[in-house]
Each structure stands twice: as C-alpha cells, then as structure tokens.
Amino acid sequence: MAMSSRRVPGISQLPVHGSTMHDDGENAMEKQWTEQDLHSFVQTAQVVFDGVSLTEEQPEPGWQDESLQVDYELRGGRVDCVLRRIVEADGKRWKLQMSAPLAGNVLPEERMTPRERELCRDDMSHDFLTGVYNRQYLERVFGAKLEQWARQGRSAAVALVALDKGPQLCDTYGQPVMDQLHCFVGNQWKKHYDTPMHQVVCRLTGSIFVVGSVDTTGPQLAARMQELYEQMPHECITTTGMMHRVQFTMSGAAAGLDEVEAKNWPALYELCDARLRKVQASGGDRIGCAERRSCIEKPLLAHTGCQRGLFVWKTRKTTTSISWKPWCRTPKWARTRWNRSCL
C-alpha cells in the first residue's frame, strides 16, 4: 500500500475484551484500552491512512472478537485495501476502519497478458473436481449458443445423465469415493463429447451431468448415448483409503430444440428433467428420449378388408415384422402378447 513511512501502532495490537498486554518486566499486567486511547490512535493513523473512522457499535450478548479483517474494494476507479476491527473500550464496542490505495493501483487481471487472461477464464468455466465444463459455462455460454442455433434454424439437443442411487452410493462408500466416481463418469462422456461450443459435457450439480450437441435431435442424441453407455465400463476402482470396486449404473433423458416451444436451455432442462424422473422410476440403467408409447393395437389391413396384414413392433435393439391373420381370427393370447410397449 502507498503509505507514509511514519510508524503507527499496529491495529493488530489493539486489545479486545478479555485480552492482556504484557510489558517488558517480569510481571504481566492487564490493561484495557480506554475510549481516549482509541481516539488518540485514530489521530495518529490519519497520518498514514487515507481514511480512518471510529464508530460506536450496539452491544451484542455473547460477542466474540473476529480479529483483523482485510478486504479489497473498488472505489472511484482505484483499488483500496480496507482494514476493519471491532474493539472494546470502557465497556463499549467500537468499529475501527482504515483504508489506503494499493501500490500500483492495478487489478490482478490488468497485470495479465491476453493469454493468461484467456487461461484464467477457461479455468473458471470448468468444474474443479471433474475437469468438465461447469454450470456457469452451461447457462451463460452454451445456453446462448442454443438460442443462436434456434434462430439460425439449426437443430440441437441436450441430455441429463445421473448416477442411479447416488445418495445410497455416498452413504456406502463416502464422499471421497464419490468424488472419484464423478471424475470417472465425467471423463467417460468427455471422451466422446469434447468439442467446445458444439459437443460438450457439463457437471450440473452433484451426480448430474449434461451432454449437449448441435446438429442433432433428441432421439438421435439419446440413441447415440445409449450406444456409448452400453460400451462403457460400469465399474470404477477407487484408490481413496482402501481400494473399492464400485459398481454403478446411470440414467439419462434427452430432448431437442424442436420439442420445446421456448427455444432455450431452461425449457430443455425442464423437459429432460421430467423424462429423467420417469426413466429412473422405471428402473433406470438406460438413456431415454420420448415417453414410452403403445404399439399399434390394430393390424395394418389392406384397404380391401380382411386380407393378410403385417404387424410391426419395436424393441430397444431390433425391429421385427411378422405376418398374421385378420385380427378377428387372431387368438386372444397372441393379441395380448403382441400389444406391448415399443421402447
């Protein structure tokens, strides 16, 4: 700080309630500062500091000394160092505040090179635990890109991915193991979605991650992520304390810009969150998209009437077609068996 070289009693030497000051003699002698001592200190400090104030505070029962507090504040285009301390004198509580400008009066960012500023901002956009993008990046940067793509008529989709039974895993193994598991999961998705502004992985909160991608739809993103999920290891070996072999599963749900009226991140999140809850309620361990739908309950008949038709249904991995006789002649057990969910 740009201050005078004149010596001033240190603010840290100010006594507080119950404190003692020792002289150089053999006997320690307790001494409490008086109100007059404080005013004398303020007069001396005004020579060194730009601003010095002493105000009486309301007494509070059970008050404890908070020691010296140091803050940096921007005032009128300059950076000031502000020192604060609460002192007791003559049974009263006083707030002492002193301020002075920093030497050089330059913010740390202003001392950086453009490359250093870029690296600093990049660090602030990443989750410090997992290394993937954080919520701030998701909402400010990628969220803005989603709205831009919507105006340009481009497709884009996001997916929420969550560890199944995350609280139970944390209770069983502890938070340090969960931290390693979060890093493992984030890295698995980052292997495939790590193109800034186009394909990204973000940690939203706790055990929930967000995968975002441009030029794709919700069903396409869900299908691709399901394929990757089936290829991923579902076991993580952690090395915090005793080694643990942690088995886990994940649930996910995707949605695209074409599925929401408001073409923005909050609308996509709301839809993905609702779908994710349904996936988890149905047992989890999969990446879903739209809600489950019923298969065609009636046969696809030719327009001529009761001719041989074609019954089609889908499973998660295959699409199967079989020939059948008119519905009225199909056994009841077969009709019940065929009338299943598609996804």
- What residue segments make up the domains of the chain, in order of their start? 11-101, 127-288, 293-343
Amino acid type, 337: R
pLDDT digits (tens, 9 = 90+) for 2-37: 443 334 445 545 554 444 333 443 333 335 678 888
Q: Is 240 exposed, middle or buried (0-12, 13-18, 19+ CB in 10 A)?
A: middle
C-alpha torsion angle, residues 8, 13, 15, 21 (rounded to 10): -110
Cβ–Cβ under 8 Å, residues 269 and 162:
no
What is the per-residue pLDDT across 166-199, written as a single tens digit (0 to 9) for each? 999 999 999 899 999 999 999 999 999 999 889 9
Rounded Cα distance, 186 and 117, in Å: 26
Topology annotation, domain 127-288? Alpha-Beta Plaits (3.30.70)
Contact indicator for 127, 91 with CB cutoff of 8 Å = no
Q: Is the model more confident about 130 or about 115?
A: 130
pTM above 0.95, yes or no: no
Taking residues 105-115, what's their average pLDDT? 65
What are the angstrom distances between the C-alpha of 217 and each of 5, 183, 212?
Answer: 68, 27, 11
Lowest model confidence (mean pLDDT) among 41-45, 163-167, 202-206: 41-45
- Alpha-carbon distances, residue 179 vs 18, 127, 301, 331 (angstroms): 44, 12, 57, 55
* Nearest residue to 248 via CA among 169, 322, 312: 169
How many other CB atoms are found less than 10 A from the CB of residue 212? 26
Lowest mean pLDDT among 32-36, 135-139, 156-160: 32-36
Amino acid at position 220, single letter: Q
pLDDT, greater one: 267 or 295: 267
> What are the tens digits of pLDDT across the range 34-53?
888 888 888 888 888 888 98
Sheet of 92-101, strand order: 51-57, 92-101, 78-89, 69-75
